[in-house]
Structure 1
């Protein structure tokens, strides 16, 4: 049985690979073809937003109710995002500090 080596998407007649720039070819070859569910995508985005919020609040003195609420909401959101990604086996999509 003959084997065939796959090297990427087949050429399209209207846009052959030879007309693509080297950067376009590299981006095409490295592109991920994995589709994420909306729930997983939301969890990744939420994780990033909560992580950034916590980083902003890290150096601040939490001495008002709005700041305290922002801190607790960010912590809760981060934990929920990690739970969703862990349950889906997708925790590798975010950098989780050990």
Structure 2
């Protein structure tokens, strides 16, 4: 069982190696928007909770979890880049859920 199940679901289902082709865009905001368009509200709220909980961790832990959860579709060069990316995703989730 994963500690952040909705984040794992999001990363596995949406951030696979062909995501750019699936949405016909390199813009991650388009991908994020497709998640909120396709999924039920409960799932998106749970994703926001998982992200918020993970953001309370140190940068190295965040990077490790994201690298483990993605499915070949996203990489982060540094711990700080991973944390910054997760923070942007959290802001997007929060805006969608309010």
Normalized against structure 1, the TM-score is what? 0.29
Higher helix fraction: Structure 1 or Structure 2? Answer: 2
The structure, 1 or 2, with the larger RCO (C-alpha pairs under 8 Å, 6+ apart) is 2
Based on CA coordinates, which of the two structures has the bigger radius of gyration? 1
